[in-house]
Structure 1
Amino acid sequence: MIELPTQDGVRLIKNVMIPMGDGVRLALDMHVPCEDEGEDWRERPRPLLLEYIPYRKDDSEPYTGYHHYFARHGIIGARLDCRGTGSSEGVNTDEYTPREQEDAVAAIEWLARQPWSTGKIGMIGGSYGGFTCVQIAARQPPHLATIIPIYFTDDRYTDDCHYRGGAFRCYYDIGAYGVSMIGMNAMPPYPEYSGADWAGIWEQHLENNTPYLLEWLSHQTDGEYWRPGSIRGRYDRIKCPVFAIGGWRDGYPNPPLRTFQNLQVPKRLLMGPWNHTRPDSAIPGPRIDYLAEVVRWCDHWLKGEENGVMEEPPVQIYMQAYDEPRAERTETRGYWRAEEALPEGEERVYWLIEGGQLGNGPPSGTSAYDEYDYRPTVGIAGGLWSGGVPFGLPADQRADEIHSVTYTTEPLDDAVEILGWPKVILHVSSSAPVMAFAARLSDVAPDGTSALVCTGVLNGTRRDSMESPEEMTPGEVYQLAFDLDATGWRFEPGHCIRLSVCSADFPNLWPTPFRGRNRVYRSADRPSRISLPVVPV
């Protein structure tokens, strides 16, 4: 353990080594409140807020980040390297393993026993750290008092960076995260922090750590492999209060709403327009001082202060509105909406009918359809799936819509607001045995510009099950039912609502292997449609 000098009322404690039951030690850094250089931080118990991730804590500049911020507000800000990563001992073979979760439970209980701890431990983190928040909370460590998961998932198969609707994701796994973790886990610890042990820890990492990507590729269907890191279906295992934070343009818009709906504990939900970047710096804005809200939450649940945070509406959601769809824009028009609970939208159905229209009534006739050729590059205007890159918003959708089949309402007489999950039921066929179907909901301005609202994807081979795929029989008609991503959106009067259907989302999804010509049916016997969760304006 190394103690660095006090700066701005904070002392940095490097490489506290926490013992696990099998003898492996995990490395922890702490930013500790310390009013003056002579104060002994060990003699004053304080609550602690823990981040648990594999991204090498020692690469971060000392006295920075939200750990430092928390310390300046009377809470120890701590960061722990997962087993086999950074300065921690041991072997790392995959993400979100049961062993990783067991380590966190042991670390929380060890921290709670220390003389400088009040025994009140919270967890916070974005992305990986948000995942570990909910995973560990489901294991119910006795001293875990609250969690603040940010940009997280509840289901590692349906809502993570590996697969979507049974289709394999492309650029992010192969070109970014998957390969970057190979390099990150091969880097050495810092000798100035790990001391004489640094070379031995590094050798252990190099000889035994496994590329995560190999595991993801070997589990292309849903199943037991994905369950330890998922809380979907077992939300009741979480017993501590939860402050969930998400973003509509983040890669994980569904889990915060779904988790909030199912939790039976004190809870709060904050959904902004953000991508996968913290809400005080994210694109698009408006950006907010979210750390002030986190501290208020922790002052109540970790310090016991009655500060009114639990008397406020627990749901705070940004309702987006149309902006010119430019990939480089930095702001989103709209307004904040506060609710006592997530509103249950009233289902409004629009039917696919002739002439490329979305109609208010079902189609007539039989055997009517529209068809298109599968083009694997469709999707280039749809933006980048946001799991780490701070850019890549959707552009004008017309560049992709010319290679899709599209259906559009008449201009709206009144504003329409939706909150929740749009759902599609599509009757389709393909000339190929494997084909994905992508549905895009867009807001069309009076000048014809088309702005993406949200998307959904289903691999046709997963039409009945994510666990047991079945090839499509060429020419056979199938009914596909799937959700689009959750959203909060206001369609303005004079705008149109559009649904487009294609079979690609490049570069977000890996292309399917066969050429194909696909049909979308729109007849009385095969009524394709979209339903929107409409809430009061």
Structure 2
Amino acid sequence: MRIRTSFPCETFHEDIRIPLRDGTKLYARVWRPLGGEPVPALLEYLPYRLTDWTAPRDRQRHPWYAGHGYASVRVDVRGHGNSEGLPGDEYSATELADGVEVVDWLAAQPWCSGKVGMFGISWGGFNSLQIAALAPEPLKAVVTVCSSDDRYDNDVHYMGGSVLAVDMHAWAATMLAFVSRPPDPAYVGASWRDLWVERLESVDPFLHTWLSHQTRDEQWRRGSVCEDYSAIRAAVLAVGGWHDPYRDTVLRLVEHLPPDRVRGLIGPWSHQYPDRGLPPGPAIGFLQETLRWWDHWLKDTDTDADAETGTGTGTGTGSSTGSGSSTGSGSSSGSGSGVMSEPLLRSYVSDSHPPATVYPVLPGRWVGDHAWPSPLVAHVPYALQGAPVVVRSPQHTGLDAGRFFPFGNEADLPPDQREEDARSVCFEFEVPEEIWVLGRPRVRLRLTSAAERGQVVARLCDVAPDGASTLVTRGVLNLTARHGRDQVVPWEPGSTEEVLFELNGIGHAFPPGHRIRLAVSSAYWPWIWPQPGSEAGFTLTPSGSVLELPLRAQESDPSIAFEEPEQSAPLGVNFPATLDEPRPERLVVRDVAKGEWRLEVDPRYGGTRVYPDGLEFTEDALETYTINESDPLSARTRSDWSVRLHRPEMPWDASVETHSEITCDETDFITSNEVICKDGDEVAFHRTWEKRIPRTAG
């Protein structure tokens, strides 16, 4: 990582409050050049607290953009951080309307040229796309990273029409803790507690809404830009990682948006900005790459190599082996004619690698496709062979799935899949010569179900000669959603039907001598909440069943290269050592006598840190997933959070404690949520919610 301390522009930053038409003021931090002509504005718009939680990450990129001639603006969503107003559901109509107002307000400032870009990762990437679909006139370009165009089937709530137990609950519980954090008196003054309690009185756990909409209804269509891609007028640079659950959005955006206004980039990364150096790498000079995008769309400047900024499109000679960050003069299309001459989709095809829960760097190569679907990709069928076979997986199948949201931690990725494969029915195909898979594999399976409800899970694994099994990708189908995610059609027990579904996209090279393994299971806990009756499983008839792989021509693009990762100077947050023994990131506990399995997960979002302004911020979380290996109704998830914000010099000491749990019976999900907030030793707020939610599709 190269730390940049000298920039073409001298800059400053200030905290401001952006007024909305209803009188609410949103808290914002602006970095911009000193004096001179008006410049374009870049907006990152999040609920995650700019004065503390995202402050280290913000400092890496916003001052960098300002130093290159932009007003870079970070805004807290209404009801979060130090912004006024009350919080709502994620991507609410109010949040998006506020975002449009912010775009218009920025464009009208005397220091702004009138052109605005939006960027963000995850939540900020989501609402960048959604606000672009509302088409505010000043919004000319977007960089959306690790985001989704489909809030139902490519988010944290549902997968293949099934409830995502692992993140439906974990993220709802996380947001319950996050939304309960207080405003900071160092920024809002003595009214902080009144603002805090007013917010808390309005809180309703996201879980209630998310679980109450188990099919693709209006709740999920709202904000899903896949409903109408033509609504997006801004240019879109869509970025993802093969180890991020949202990467399929990049493939859909480059397919459906006009090719003169979209480019896609998919690397081997996790749910992180590609310049941060978190595994798996290689990291790239992502800020430089996005600067080319902004310069083209917001400044109408040539994006060839530039001696002053070093961000152009020369004939870079970076490595195509993935052994480290590329060097040279930046990303190149070969012709050196600017950012829009790049291939429509630049993607990384990883080499085969042994199973591990973390990879500092994944070897591979970059490929470029000038259309998507690509004429260089052919869908090749692999017919399943053998007699009909019963698939009846133990309910704890899936414990080795890895984290739904890998963040670059040491236990994020799936370990060796041999235990999971043994709990599944497997079909194998020899690899006589190397093949490259790029895109979304799919399966067509002939199933006979013994029950009205259930799910089918397909995993694609790379099996080495020594038997090690590396998970490549996977897909899920709720059997009652086989005719569409917007309807529930129970299976007639004993009947046979053909089901078709896609696996998540991937770029992977299978070498000669390895085997392709398709593993099919009827359970995948805790990713997928099991259906009542699913313990009966189903019968799979290989005759007529097919695995279809998108095989790409083995043509790498050596002209695709990137600069060394570069950021502005870090914030200087201190992470004090503690005497506590760190608990495992992922711990599996088996009660042999009960047949019960428990997965404990420490998400490790941040721990204890001290900020330069004196704020002491401590957070701790533990997620627990429990199931009996033979009983789908035994599924239970729990999340416990504690957060403390302390300013010794004020003094100020506020804390949040939350507890959230889901259990089930045959007809209902049973949810329990609790929030306890303290001002010092005094309880400022305490509420519990108990709710039964009918299992309509889940």
Please confirm whether the aligned pair reaches a TM-score higher than 0.5, indicating the same fold: yes
Which runs of structure 2 are paired with 1:90-489 in the superposition (5 Å)?
A: 90-175=85-170, 177-264=171-258, 265-280=260-275, 281-307=277-303, 308-342=338-372, 343-344=374-375, 345-354=377-386, 368-386=387-405, 390=409, 391-410=411-430, 412-489=431-508
Query: What is the 5 A alignment of 1:492-503?
Result: 492-503=511-522
Matched, 1:518 2:538: yes
Partners of 1:488 and 1:156 in 2: how far apart? 24
Q: Which amino acid aligns with 1:20?
A: L
Counterpart amino acid of 1:288?
Answer: I
- Decide whether aligned partners of structure 1 residues 250 and 102 sit closer, same or farther in structure 2, where only a CA change above 3 A counts: same
Equivalent residue, structure 2, for 1:48: 41
Judge which range, 287-296 or 336-345, deviates more: 336-345
Cα distance, 1:33 vs. partner? 2.5
Q: Which residue identity does 2:472 align to in structure 1? A: V
Give CA-to-partner distance per residue, 1:136-163, whole Å, 9 cap, x none: 0011000001000000101000100110
Instruction: Give the unaligned 5+ runs of structure 2.
Output: 1-5, 304-337, 555-698
Once the 2 structures are TM-superposed, how far is the Cα of residue 295 of structure 1 from its aligned partner?
Answer: 1.2
Match of 2:527 among 508, 522, 530: 508
CA shift, 1:478, in A, is 2.0
Which whole-Å deviations, capped at 9, do the CAs of 1:383-440 have from their partners, x for residues lacking one? 2212657451122211101111100012x22211121111111111232322110001
Task: Quote how far apart the aligned CAs of 1:536 are.
Answer: 1.1
> Secondary structure at 1:74's aligned position in 2?
coil
1:401 and 1:89 mapped to 2: Cα distance? Answer: 51
User: Quick one: distance in 1 between partners of 2:393 and 2:489?
Assistant: 20
Task: Tell me how far 1:209 sits from its aligned partner.
Answer: 2.7
Cα separation, partners in 2 of 1:373 and 1:311, compared to 1, 3 Å: closer
For residues 448-502 of structure 1, what are the alpha-carbon distances to aligned partners after superposition, in whole Å with 9 as ceiling and x for unaligned? 2211111010011111121221222322222111001111121112222111100
Q: Tell me how far apart the structure 2 counterparts of residues 311 and 50 of structure 1 sit (CA, whole Å).
A: 26
8 Å contact kept, 1:93–1:211: no
User: Could you tell me which amino acid in structure 2 is paired with residue 529 of structure 1?
Assistant: V
Residue aligning to 1:19: 19
Looking at structure 1, the residues matched to 248 and 73 of structure 2 have their Cα atoms a distance apart, in angstroms, of: 28
Distance (Å, rounded) in 1 between the aligned partners of 2:280 and 2:524: 21
Distance 1:470 1:310 in 2: 45
Amino acid at match of 1:116: W
2:254/2:345 contact within 8 Å kept: no
Whole-Å Cα distance in 2 between the matches of residues 207 and 387 of structure 1?
Answer: 33
Question: More displaced, 385-394 or 210-219?
Answer: 385-394
Asked whether the 8 Å contact 1:352–1:529 carries over to 2, the reply is: yes
Secondary structure in 2 matching 1:473: coil
User: Shift in Å at residue 165 of structure 1?
Assistant: 0.7
Mark the CA change 1:9 to 1:109 in structure 2 (over 3 Å): closer, same or farther.
Answer: same
Residue 197 of structure 1: how far off its partner (Å): 4.5
Could you give the per-residue CA deviations for residues 50-103 of structure 1, whole angstroms, max 9, x where no partner exists?
A: 011111111144772311221122212211111111111112220011111111
**For 2:102 and 2:511, how far apart are their aligned partners in 1?**
51
- Give the gaps of 5 or more residues in structure 1: 1-5, 35-40, 355-367
Are the counterparts in 1 of residues 48 and 80 from structure 2 also a CA contact under 8 Å?
yes
Q: C-alpha separation between the residues in 2 aligned to 1:33 and 1:507?
A: 49
Letter in 2 for 1:312: E
Give a deviation string over 1:249-275, Cα, whole Å, max 9, x none: 101121111111100142211100111
Give the C-alpha shift of residue 506 in structure 1.
Answer: 2.3
Alpha-carbon distance in 1 for matches of 2:24, 2:406: 31
**Hey, what's the Cα distance between the residues in 2 that align with 1:129 and 1:171?**
22
- Is the Cα contact below 8 Å between 1:417 and 1:489 reproduced in 2? yes
Question: Does structure 2 conserve the Cα–Cα contact (< 8 Å) formed by 1:161 and 1:387?
Answer: no
Match of 1:3 in 2: none
Judge conservation of contact 1:442–1:454 (CA < 8 Å) in 2.
yes
Higher share of residues assigned strand: 2
CA distance in 2, matches of 1:64, 1:517: 51
Q: Is the 8 A contact 2:253 2:262 kept in 1?
A: no
| TM-score normalised over the length of structure 2 | 0.70
2: distance between equivalents of 1:110 and 1:535? Answer: 46
Q: Residue deviations 1:306-334, cap 9 Å, x none? A: 12222333321100121011113322121
DSSP 3-state at the match of 1:64: helix
Residue 111 (structure 1) shift: 0.8
CA–CA separation in structure 2 for the residues paired with 1:129 and 1:51: 6
Does residue 524 of structure 2 align to residue 528 of structure 1? no
Alignment partners' CA distance in 2, 1:462 and 1:400 = 25
Q: Check conservation: 1:84, 1:209, Cα contact below 8 A.
A: no
- Matched AA of 1:103: D
Q: Percent of aligned positions with the same letter in both sequences? A: 38
Would the aligned equivalents of 2:265 and 2:345 in 1 still touch at CA under 8 Å? yes
2:647 aligned residue: none
| Residue identity in the other structure for 2:252 | R
Q: Which amino acid aligns with 2:538?
A: N
Deviation of 1:31 after TM superposition, in Å, equals 1.6
Secondary structure, aligned partner of 1:192: helix
Distance (Å, rounded) in 1 between the aligned partners of 2:190 and 2:178: 21
Q: Which amino acid aligns with 2:200?
A: L
Distance 1:439 1:424 in 2: 8
Distance of 1:451 and 1:490 partners within structure 2: 12
How far apart in 1 are the matches of 2:11 and 2:523?
A: 51
Measured in 2, the distance between the counterparts of 1:204 and 1:117 equals: 35
Question: Distance between the aligned counterparts of 1:443 and 1:187, measured in 2?
Answer: 44
Asked if 2 retains the 8 angstrom alpha-carbon contact of 1:277 and 1:283, the reply is: no
Separation in 2 of the partners of 1:24 and 1:413?
64
Cα separation, 1, equivalents of 2:300 and 2:432: 50
Given that 1:138 and 1:231 are in contact with CA atoms closer than 8 Å, whether structure 2 keeps it comes out as yes
Q: Which residue of 2 aligns with 1:75?
A: 70
